[in-house]
Every structure is written in C-alpha cells, then in structure tokens.
Structure 1
Amino acid sequence: MPAARVTLIRIFYALALLLAVLVLNFSLMHLAPGDVADTISQSMGGADAEVLERIRIDYGLDQPFLVQLGRYIGNVLHFDLGYSFFYNQSVTSLILERLPATLLLVVSAQVLALVVGVVLGVVSARRPNGMLSHFVTFLALFGYSAPVFWTGILLLIAFSLKIPLFPVAGMQDITVTGGFFAHAWDILRHLVLPMITLASIFLALYSRLARATMMEVLGSDYVRTAKAKGLSQRDVVYKHALKNALSPVITLAGLQFSAVVSGAVLVETVFSWPGLGTLAFQSIIARDTPTILGILFFSALVVIVGNLLTDFALRLVDPRLGGRR
C-alpha cells in the first residue's frame, strides 16, 4: 500500500477518533448532576428559579441534547471551545496561555526518559550480568512502582529542606532580571524537578524494554554475521542492532503518551507548574464545565497527534513498515 494512502487513512482514523472523544466527553458532562447554571448560582450565593432559567437560556441549556451537541461540535470546528465563567475569558485563550508550559514539561520529560532509558538499556544489554544491568533492573522496579506524585513530593522535600539547589514551585521567578538567557536559565532551573518526576516512571519502562530488545537483537543471526565480518563492537551495536531494537521502544513511547499527559496533571499540581494540569485541577474544583471540556478535547488532540507522530517515526526508523498493510 502506498505511503501517502496509508498516511491519509491514519489521519482519517485520527479525526474519527477525535470526533468520538468529543461526543463522549460532552455526553458524560451532560449526564453529570448539575449544570453551569447551578454552578454560577452557587458562586453568586444563590439564585431563584427565574434567574436560573435565564442563565440556562443564555448558555443554550434549554435546548434538546442533540441540539446542544451539534452546536458544540460546530463551535469546536471553528476553534471556539466556549467561555469560562470562572476565569471570565474564552477557553481557547486559556488553553493557549497554559499550553507552552505543559508542552515544555511533557516533551522534555519524554525526551529525557527516552534518551536516558535507551542509553541505559543498550549499555546494560552489552553486559547483562554486570552491575549496570542489575541497576537498570532495580531502577525499573522502583520507578514503575513509585506513584509519580509521591516521587514529586520526595523531591520537593529533599530540594526545599535538605538540599536547596532548585526552585520547588512555579515556572519562573518574577524577581529575575536580565535578558533572554537569564530568563531561560531561570525556567530551566524550575523545570528540573517536575521533569525528573514525570520522566521517572517512563525512564524505567524504556530502559527495561530497551535492554530486553537489545539482548534479543544482539543474539540474532545477522548480528553474528556482522561480527564474523570483523566489524567493531561499536558498529555492530549502534549501526546494525540499535535500529531494530528502537522500534518497540518508540511504539511504547507513543502508547504511553496519554499517560505522560495525565501524569502531568499530578506533577503540575505538586510543583504548582502553570500548565494545563493545574488549570484542569482548578476547573474541576470550580466545576467550570466549558474549561473542563476544552481541556479534555485538547488533551485527546495532543495524544492522537502524538500517536500519529510515533507512527511516522517508526516508518523512518524501519522503512519496511511503509509497505505493510
């Protein structure tokens, strides 16, 4: 099957899945007890039936469910995710304000986990009975079993009370003066702890999987043939074996992207990182339905796009996938 056709089919499935997620999220929020009118009236200290009815008319809640759903889907297609009554601004602008912080955290954590995990897995696979291999096994067990919020709290306590090397809250210090590099360095220092916290569980997964796949590939016939031809150990490992060993790791990284996004909610809450996770937490507390729906939709969009990019990355690593049905 031609690569262009495969790409179009993937994009079509992605759009269909995004539409299904949009309908499901809206339906679940519609079935939940209470509505926007109840929440607004509570924030006002109470309201009579006439005021509640007026609010429902203003927000279109007096219309049948299918009419509300169709209107919402139409608004989303026009990049209108609604209006936040809690923050008193459009949901789209709210998400765009918080998006850079979340993308910085999620992407940096994923890159850190992938790079360090693959390096540890490859090095330990070359000496499966060495100390480093046992360390990777211990790291995988510890990282996978420790809840991400627990790891974050431990790092927060350690680096705020015992070893005050990094900031423990927020994204930047408003007192910092200077040019671009001064502000970039300040953001990087704030990023270290939440990035390590979010990357910890995925680093354990990637290192363990990279170790297992690399050991399997190093025992294959074509690797033994490459060694028999007199190629150096470095060339055998990094030019021949690593490409095939990377495919399962990249696949897992794509499948775990949704877990990275959901884990960011906990990490951002622990470290007061001003991203979509903190916004989601505050919106849930305030029962800000339009903002919650917007964040759910955007999170689904990020996960679906991440999976598409993972599929494209697999085709670059292993061109044989382009011809598979």
Structure 2
Amino acid sequence: MGTYLTKRIIYMIVILFAASFLIFSLYALTPGDFISSNIKLSPERKAELREIYGLSKPLLERYGIWMNNVFHGDFGFSLAQQQPVLKLFNQYIWNSFLLAVVSTFLTWVIAVIIGVVSAYKQYSWFDTIVMVAIFAAMSIPSFFIGLFLIKILAVDLKWLPPGGMLTTGSNATGWAYIKEVIHHMTLPVIVMTLLGVGSLTRYFRSNMIDVIKQDYIRTARAKGLKEDKVLFRHALRNALLPAITLVGFELPALFGGSIIIEKIFNWPGIGQLYMQSFSLRDYPLLMGFTMLLAILTVIGTLLSDVLYHIADPRVRLH
C-alpha cells in the first residue's frame, strides 16, 4: 500500500503540473481580459494596469510567477472583485458545499432504495414507472426543471421562496437563521436531487440485477434468510462496490456540479461567482477555480481506489 501511494502521489503531482499549464495557457491565450474589455479605462490606464499585474510578460514567465504564488497559497487576485481569489473562495464555497452535501446524501439514499426495489421487482409496474421517470429526468434540462418548480412551488403555491439564501433584509440569528437557510435551500436541493437520482438509480439497478442472480444469493435464500436481509445485507453490499469508483467524481462535483442551479436560484455560491467571472472575463478567478477542481479530481480518484481496496481486499493495488 505504501509503495502504491507513493507512486500515485508522484503521478498526481505530474498530472497537476500538466493540468496547471494547460489551464493557465487556455485562459492566458484567450483573447481579451477584464482590463482590455473595460470601456471605462483609457488606453494609457489599460497599459499601466497590464504592467502592474504582469499581463504584458511572456506566457512562460507569467506561468512561472503564477505557479510560484500557488505554492505559497496565493491563487491570484480577482480584478473584477478586487479581492484575493482564495478569500473569495472562502466566502462563497461553503454555501455551495452546503447545497452539494445535502443533495448528494439524499441522491444516494433515494437511488439505493429505489434501485434495490426496482431490481428486485424487475419488469413490474414499479420498475416500469421508475425507468420512465429516470429517462425523463435525464432528458429534461436542469434549467427547465428549476424554472418549472419555481413556477409551481414558489409562484403559484407559495410554499417555498424562489431564490436567494436569506429573505431580503433579514437579520435572523441562531436557530431562526438556520431555519431560514433551510427554507431557502429546499427548492435548489430538490432540483439537484432530481437531476442526480436518475442516473445513479439506473446504475444501482443494473448492479443489483447482476448480483441477485449470483449463486451465493440463491444459497442465502435457500438457508431461509428473510428477503430484506438477502437484499440489503448480502446483495446490496456487493452491488455497492462498483459504485465506490463514483466517489472520485463526487468530490469535485461538490463544488462544480451546481453552477447552473445556483444561477437559477440566485444562490450565493461559488457557481454563481464562477458564472459572473465568465461574463467579466475575470481570468485569475476562473483559473483558480478550475485548478481547484483539478486538484479535487485527482484526490477523489486516489480516494476511490483506496476505498475500493478497503471494501474488497481481493483487489490488489500496484
């Protein structure tokens, strides 16, 4: 295990260096930036600012300066927000994390339960309804589902607020603040759960169908075990093993998977800030966020491999 982790960490460092150069080059070579696209600045002031922020230097020199700053915990300075990138991340990323964690937990719980029951009752009316709902959820764009639920639940029925994290002008603290945040996050969490539960349910269903046909499941039933124990203690445990590989994609998705949803519901998260940065061409912030996703992706991949080995010791890590 120690040798494997050492090799993987070396690979991760090489991959992150390559990813950092690619990310920096793509944004650096993209025509236009926040300074050049700002019509309020004179040509002289633009040239002065480009010198101050080092934008007139050669690409490789700029990349070397950026990477040296990254090693010291500095991902750059947002020209549009006039704040360090990491400071902005700290202000917004936890709001995105709150949405993502709650929706991911609900997605997995619902997908496991529905996937197991659907596989057990394969080709039944329940399975048919589930499959139709899955394909419907996967084919409908996220912005349409979000706007539709806002229309029904927020505008027509007035059960939930249409957006934001707090009521305008609210000064709530303590439990009142927590209740208000939960009330506002319910609608985006519902949408994110609906979007994620479809594909994951289909994944668990197919895994369960393969597992319940195995000989050891027939043996467990022949011993007289109750069906719920057969399904959830024996079959589900083995059906969950392939799903561990999805953990590697869940970690970056915690911060990057709700960009459109945050925009629709005006949720003050990192996705909302990311979309604003695109329109303003705030490349330092865009580079920092993209690099953060790259780091989380390689860490998540390593974590999924280690967890798979822990869950199934027969899998050897080389």
TM over 0.5: yes
Match of 1:122 among 108, 116, 119: 116
Q: CA deviation at 1:96?
A: 1.0
* Alignment match of 2:61 (pick from 39, 62, 67): 67
- Greater than 4 Å deviation, 4+ residue runs: 174-179, 256-262
CA deviation after TM superposition for structure 1 residue 256, in Å: 6.0
Cα distance, 1:145 vs structure 2: 0.7
Q: What RMSD, in angstroms, separates the aligned Cα atoms of the two structures?
A: 2.1
Which one has a larger percent helix, Structure 1 or Structure 2? Answer: 1
Q: Report the Cα distance in structure 1 between the residues aligned to 2:9 and 2:80, rounded to whole angstroms.
A: 35
Contact kept? 1:124, 1:133, Cα under 8 Å: yes
Query: In the TM superposition, what is the alpha-carbon distance from 1:240 to its structure 2 partner?
Result: 1.4
Q: Who is 2:41 aligned against?
A: 46
Q: 1:178 to 1:33 in 2, by over 3 A?
A: closer
Partner Cα separation in structure 2 for residue 33 and residue 261 of structure 1: 27
- Matched residue type, 2:136: F
Quote the offset at 1:176 in angstroms: 4.8
Amino acid at match of 2:103: A
Q: Name stretches of at least 5 consecutive residues in structure 1 with no aligned partner.
A: none
CA contact (8 A) 1:83 1:91 kept: yes
* Distance in 1 between residues matched to 2:80 and 2:171, nearest whole Å: 32
> Structure 1 CA distance, aligned partners of 2:75 and 2:228?
52
Change (3 A) 1:259 1:5: same
- Tell me the TM-score normalized by structure 2: 0.92
Q: SS of the residue aligned with 1:320? A: coil
1:313–1:155 distance in 2 versus 1, CA, 3 Å: farther
Q: Is the CA contact (8 Å cut-off) linking 2:93 and 2:255 kept in structure 1?
A: no
Q: Match of 1:11?
A: 9
Cα drift, residue 281 of structure 1: 0.9
Is the Cα contact below 8 Å between 2:262 and 2:268 reproduced in 1?
Answer: yes
Identity over the aligned pairs, expressed in percent? 32
Distance 1:187 1:229 in 2: 50
Equivalent residue for 1:266? 260
Check whether the contact 1:109–1:198 (CA below 8 A) recurs between aligned residues: yes
> Alpha-carbon deviation of 1:19?
2.2
1:253 is displaced (CA, Å) by: 5.0
Q: Offset of 1:280 from its aligned partner?
A: 0.7
SS at match of 2:240: helix
Task: For 1:203-282, list aligned pairs within 5 A.
Answer: 203-252=197-246, 254-255=248-249, 261-282=255-276
How big is the shift at 1:94?
0.5
1:221-257: CA deviations, max 9, x gaps? 1111222222222222122111110122332453466
Q: Is the 8 A contact 1:243 1:317 kept in 2?
A: no
Residue number in structure 2 paired with 1:172: 166
Provide structure 2 residue ranges, at least 5 long, that are not aligned to the other structure. none
Letter in 2 for 1:21: A
